[in-house]
Structure 1
Amino acid sequence: MESTTDLTVATWSPPDPRTAATTLAAAGASHVGRVRKVNEDAHLVAPPVFVVADGMGGHALGDVASALVIESFTPLGGRGSATPAEVEGAIGRSRVTIAAIDADGQAEPGATMVSAAYVVESGRGYWLIAHVGDSRAYSWRDGELEQITHDHSLVQEMIDAGHLDAAQAAVHPERHVITRAIGPVGNAQADYSLVPLEAKQRILLCSDGLTSELSDRSIASILSNEESPEDAVSSLVEAAVNMGGRDNVTAIIIDVVDCAPPAPERDDTVPLGRVQA
């Protein structure tokens, strides 16, 4: 597919003997889309951390801001696991570096982000999901798609207040207005979720360029039909571009090929949304 970045792939197992049987396979891809001239998205596939960052549309130097988010997380790559403090520190560093950008009188640059970090608690593996803005994380397992993150956006607040439903939000003229970002909007804090690692689980991280073009049902269908993470992520990005590609499109797929020791029961987490494929 033209203008797609080189596909990034990785296979990884943690060195800790307690969790060494865990195997992750991951792939990430990005596309500038059909409208934008610059790709302001950036992504990182560097086990045990995975990150998607989206430079804020309409703000100066969005591509620089998203690159600085990735740069802040890069030192965590190659470790046996991450810690909540390290993830929080990476987000904090990105705030500092983005705030230091000289916008030369233009609007302040900023970025949304979503990350998944492999962490170990009480000898078991978990995903620590962090996000700011409307970039999203999903979990796919046993034919069900669950949205882990909750958008920091104006339309999400309107949905929460009962003023809009999901169908109305999808076409609302202010659907791209976010209420939190790294940089402007009050240097807003990240939200965190701790999700148990489960065998045969897929984690999807993506920018809003994907979710603004594809419904949850379309995403679920692709995740169900594509076996490898590289095929799944390529199909997701291509489908979003073919549906219009009005924004940059970036996605990361992480497959839990195997998981040890046995993961906790799935009802340890409360899904925010569920779609049957």
Structure 2
Amino acid sequence: MTAPLTVVAGSSTHTGRRRALNEDSSLACAPVFVVADGMGGHEAGERASAAVTTAFAALIGREALGLDDVRQALARARGAVDALVTTTSSRAGTTLSGVVISSVDGLGYWLALNIGDSRTYRFAGGELEQITVDHSVIQELIDAGELTAETAMHDTRRNVITRAIGGGSSGDADFWLFPADAGDRMLVCSDGLTAEVPDARIREVLAQERDPQRAAAVLTAEAVEAGGRDNITVIVVDATAVAARPGAVVLSDEVDEATRPREVLNGGAR
């Protein structure tokens, strides 16, 4: 049976210039590509983010995942983080963002998920599209028209999130399901990247660096050079072959890379 989606990926992480610990964790192994940005201090964030990626590691090696698979992994992750809070009396918590390989009737799909302010983007046809929507005070102010994206970059509230796994939050994740095209490049990152490197520069790097590992490393290095005020984690995932119909595979140089409309699940984009 033909795999619905074949990918290659690269990942990179850095503590940054101002933090003693790297509280980010990531998982970049098919069919799961996720980044968790921990919070809580005194190693609580490090443990929380690691607990989340451990919960998703059980899905590695499967050909494709459905929404129920991801929700079950999220439930395991939340239970693991809640157990940390109980045993350490801390406010351990973490964001989670990423994409997993999915399928619909044998066709290749991306299933993106998000809780918090880490992000997942899609780069296709030369355009960079932010798939996820931040769960943050800043995003709410932007949505209300009280801030612009430019002024938000320097707002003192930019680290205040409204949903997390743990950390006293019970907010749910959002999900997006959309068809994959061969040639898609997915970017998953903690806010240590997006707080330092503007989207325009991220798009340039993704366009210029063909190797996903090199692209991830360059973006991480640029975030450090720009200030490195937080931990930085970057995953780049390239779709090299996509099942366009059951039993048929389309290679990356044989398709129109125009972005297709997304189907939004469980609240999705606002």
**Structure-2 separation of matches of 1:36 and 1:18:** 41
Q: Which runs of 5+ in 2 are unaligned?
A: 245-249
Q: 1:146 aligns with which of 117, 125, 129?
A: 129
Shift of 1:266: 3.4
- 1:110-160 per-residue CA deviation (whole Å, 9 max, x = no partner) reads 000112110111121111001100000000011100000000000100000
Shift of 1:43: 0.5
Give SS of 2:159's match.
coil
Which residue does the alignment assign to 2:247? Answer: none
2:81 touches 2:93 (CA, 8 Å); kept in 1? yes
**Structure-2 separation of matches of 1:84 and 1:176:** 29
Which residue does the alignment assign to 1:269? Answer: 262
TM-score, normalised with respect to structure 2: 0.89
1:159 is aligned with what amino acid? Answer: I
CA RMSD of superposed structures (Å): 2.2
Which residue does the alignment assign to 1:33? Answer: 16
1:137 touches 1:149 (CA, 8 Å); kept in 2? yes
Shift of 1:80: 1.3
2:40 touches 2:167 (CA, 8 Å); kept in 1? no
**Structure-2 separation of matches of 1:172 and 1:57:** 21
**Structure-2 separation of matches of 1:253 and 1:211:** 14
1:55 touches 1:112 (CA, 8 Å); kept in 2? yes
Identity across the alignment (%): 42
Which residue does the alignment assign to 1:206? Answer: 189
Shift of 1:185: 3.9
Matches for 1:1-277 after TM superposition, within 5 Å: 16-17=1-2, 19=4, 22-56=5-39, 58=41, 61-102=44-85, 107-261=90-244, 266-269=259-262
**Structure-2 separation of matches of 1:211 and 1:232:** 15
- 1:14-47 per-residue CA deviation (whole Å, 9 max, x = no partner) reads xx3263xx42110111110111000000000120
Structure 1 residues 246, 194: CA separation in 2 closer, same or farther (over 3 Å shift)?
Answer: same
